[in-house]
Amino acid sequence: MDTKALLKKVRKIEIKTRRLSDHVFGGEYHSTFKGRGMTFSEVRQYQFGDDVRAIDWNVTARYNEPFVKVFEEERELTLMLVVDVSGSEAFGTKTQFKREILTEIAATLAFSALQNNDKVGLLLFSDQLELFIPPKKGRSHILRIIRELLEFEPKSKETNISAALEFLSGVLKKKAIVFMLSDFMDSGYEKTLRITAKKHDLTGIRVYDPVETELPKLGIVPMRDAETGQIRWINTQSKKVRNQYAKHFNARTTEYQELFKKNGAGNMSCSVEESYVKKLLGYFKARI
C-alpha cells in the first residue's frame, strides 16, 4: 500500500471510529473503567462516619488525635490493545476480513481512551511478538497505532496466545485495561490467561466469520489452513462432515467463554456481519 492510499485509509477509519467513540462510547468507556485504581491524596482529621480502616496510625500517634488517609480515583488509565495478526485473521467470505473488523474495534477503543485522556499501547502477535508500541497519549500516537493495524505484515501466520500474554505481563508493571482481539483459534493458554486476569482488567473480543460456524454445501472442495498452509479436500455435501465442522466451532466457542469467565476476565463475540457497536455497548452497560 503506497503512502497516499495508506493515509487515506487511516483518515477514513479515524473519521468513522472517532465519531463512534465521541458520541457513543466515550461516556460508556469512562463509566465502565473509571476508578480502577486509588491513589493517596492527603491526611485530615477524623470525622464522625469515617471508615476506621482509613486511620493513619503514625500521624494519629504524632498528634495524639485521630487522622485518616484520603484517597482519590486514579484518573489516568492505561489501555492496552493486544491484537492477533496471524493468518486466520485474513479470512472473510462476504463484506470484510476479520482483521478489518479487529482494526475498527481497536481504533474505536483507542479513541474512547483518548477522549478519557488515557494512555494507549499496542501489541501485535502471531505465534511470536510481532510489534510492541508502549502506551502513550495523543492523537498522533493513536494514528500511528491505526497505521500499524492497517499496514503491518506479520512474520508468522500461526498463533500463540500464551506467548502474547506472557510478554504483556512482563512489560506492563502497573494494572491496565487490556483488550485482546482475536478469533482465539488456539488452546493451552489458560495459565497465562489466569495470571494476566489477576493483574489486569482483561477482556477478550472474539471475531469470527459466519462460514466458520456452518459449512455450506459446495461439493468436494479444497480447503487451506490459513496458518499452516496445509490443503485438504473436504466433502461439504456430507452431513457428518458438516456436523463435525459445526461441533468443532461450538466447542471452541464454549472453551473461550468458559476460560475467560472462570478466570475473572470479560469476554464478547462478534460476527463480521454483526454490529460491533451494539456488542460493545451491551458489554460496557453490563459491566457498569
pLDDT, tens digit, for every residue of 159-193?
999 999 999 999 998 889 999 999 998 889 999 99
Residue at grid coordinates 466433502: 235
Q: Is the pLDDT score of 34 beyond 80?
A: no
Amino acid at 269: S
pLDDT of residue 282: 87
pLDDT of residue 203: 96
Contact call for residues 80 and 132 (beta carbons, < 8 A)? no
For 243-272, write each residue's pLDDT tens digit: 887 788 888 889 999 999 999 999 999 998
The mean predicted confidence, pLDDT, of the chain is 85
Question: Could you tell me the pLDDT band of residue 18, with boundaries at 50, 70 and 90?
Answer: confident
Question: Could you tell me the pLDDT band of residue 128, with boundaries at 50, 70 and 90?
Answer: very high
Q: Is the pLDDT score of 35 beyond 70?
A: no
pLDDT of residue 13: 77
Question: Could you tell me the pLDDT band of residue 46, with boundaries at 50, 70 and 90?
Answer: confident
Q: Is the pLDDT score of 37 beyond 60?
A: no
Percent of the chain whose pLDDT exceeds 90: 40
Q: Is the pLDDT score of 2 beyond 90?
A: no
Within 126-170, strands assigned E span 129-136
Q: Which domains does the chain have, with CATH numbers?
A: 3-32+75-287 (3.40.50.410), 38-73 (no CATH)
pLDDT of residue 213: 78
Question: Could you tell me the pLDDT band of residue 71, with boundaries at 50, 70 and 90?
Answer: low
Query: Treating both helix axes as pointing N-terminal to C-terminal, what angle do 139-151 and 98-115 enclose, rounded to 10 degrees?
Result: 170
Question: Could you tell me the pLDDT band of residue 14, with boundaries at 50, 70 and 90?
Answer: confident
pTM listed for this prediction: 0.78
In the chain, count H helices and then E strands. Answer: 9, 10
Question: What is the grid cell recorded at 247?
Answer: 461441533
Q: Is the pLDDT score of 26 beyond 80?
A: no
Q: What is the DSSP string of 23-43?
A: IIIHHHHHHHHTTSSEEEEEE
Within the chain, strands assigned E span 38-45, 67-73, 78-84, 119-125, 129-136, 177-182, 201-208, 220-224, 231-235, 266-271
Measured CA angle at 55 (ends 50, 61), to 5 deg: 135
CA 140/CA 138 separation, integer angstroms? 6
For 192-239, write each residue's pLDDT tens digit: 999 999 999 999 999 998 888 777 777 787 777 666 777 888 877 778
| Secondary structure class of 81 (helix, strand, coil) | strand
Q: Is the pLDDT score of 36 beyond 60?
A: no
For 84-105, write each residue's pLDDT tens digit: 999 877 666 666 788 889 999 9
